[in-house]
Amino acid sequence: MKRDEAIELIRLRTGRDNVAGWDERIRLELEMAQASLEWDAVLPWFLLNVDDTLSVTGGTATLALPSGFLRLGNQGGFYRYDSTRDDPWIVLKRDSYEALSARNLGEGIVEWYAILGAKIYLFPTPAVTTTFRLIHFKSGGSLATNTATNPWLVYAPEVLIHEASARVDPERAGLWMGLAEKEKNRINLNEDQRDFDGLNPRVIPE
């Protein structure tokens, strides 16, 4: 679903279809609803990003978090690449910046990291150019343009539409939020099934 289709649907459902000047207001409410959803304790599978690889040169102690970073994945994390291993991605251990700094680890092979503000701090500081992979939840991005690439509108349009409708139509906010929760539960059930299928792949009889 494209952004403008979502706006039109909200106008129709909330009775604002004949009210001039509401499109921009609804767009802003969609963005506010998305921001609120992305602060939830549980984030949906479609925001999980596994493709970000980052590199630093020797002597560089920090990496900037990628644009749209929300938090580390539940089963993800931060990995260092080691081409000498059959399984080259080594999971790194996380601790607080204060605890790691106090250990004075110097330079060497990175084993630890801390996240503080918008940066990843590497410990020890890598002595050579090093590549990392970050598995994390990533924001669905801006709704400033009328595209069909926002993952909320691709995979969970009703969640975003209902949450935004509650802001546009506060008199019936309870109705809209109830519908949004129903859709969230559906997505959670689908995610549980995806996990189950991954652990117990279906066998199709010949």
Instruction: Tell me the pLDDT band of 199, cut-offs 50, 70 and 90.
Output: very low
- Let me know: does 36 contact 25? Beta carbons within 8 Å: no
**In this structure, which amino acid lies at residue 8?**
E
pLDDT at 4 over 70: yes
1, 8, 156, 189 alpha-carbon torsion, rounded to 10°: -130
Average pLDDT of the chain is: 88
For residue 202, the model assigns a pLDDT of 36
Of residues 20 and 65, the one with the higher pLDDT is 65
Least confident of 1-10, 19-28, 114-123, 131-140: 19-28
For residue 56, the model assigns a pLDDT of 96
Question: What is the mean predicted confidence (pLDDT) over 141-162?
Answer: 92
Q: Which residues are CB-contacts of 38 (< 8 A; sequence separation ≥ 6)?
A: 47, 70, 137, 139, 140
Phi first, then psi, for residue 43 (nearest 5°) are -110, 150
pLDDT in tens, 37-65: 999 888 888 999 887 899 999 999 999 99
Q: How far is 182 from 111, CA to CA, in rounded Å?
A: 42
Q: Is 176 exposed, middle or buried (0-12, 13-18, 19+ CB in 10 A)?
A: buried
pLDDT in tens, 85-130: 999 999 999 999 999 999 999 999 999 999 999 999 999 999 999 9
Question: What is the mean predicted confidence (pLDDT) over 197-205?
Answer: 38
Residue 70's CB is within 10 A of a number of other CB atoms, namely 18
Q: How far is 74 from 84, CA to CA, in rounded Å?
A: 27
The tokens for 167 are 């802001």
pLDDT in tens, 156-198: 999 999 999 999 999 999 999 999 999 998 887 566 545 534 4
For residue 204, the model assigns a pLDDT of 35
pLDDT in tens, 61-91: 999 999 999 999 776 689 999 999 999 999 9
Domain ranges of the chain: 3-38+142-196, 48-138
Q: How far is 91 from 48, CA to CA, in rounded Å?
A: 17
For residue 76, the model assigns a pLDDT of 64
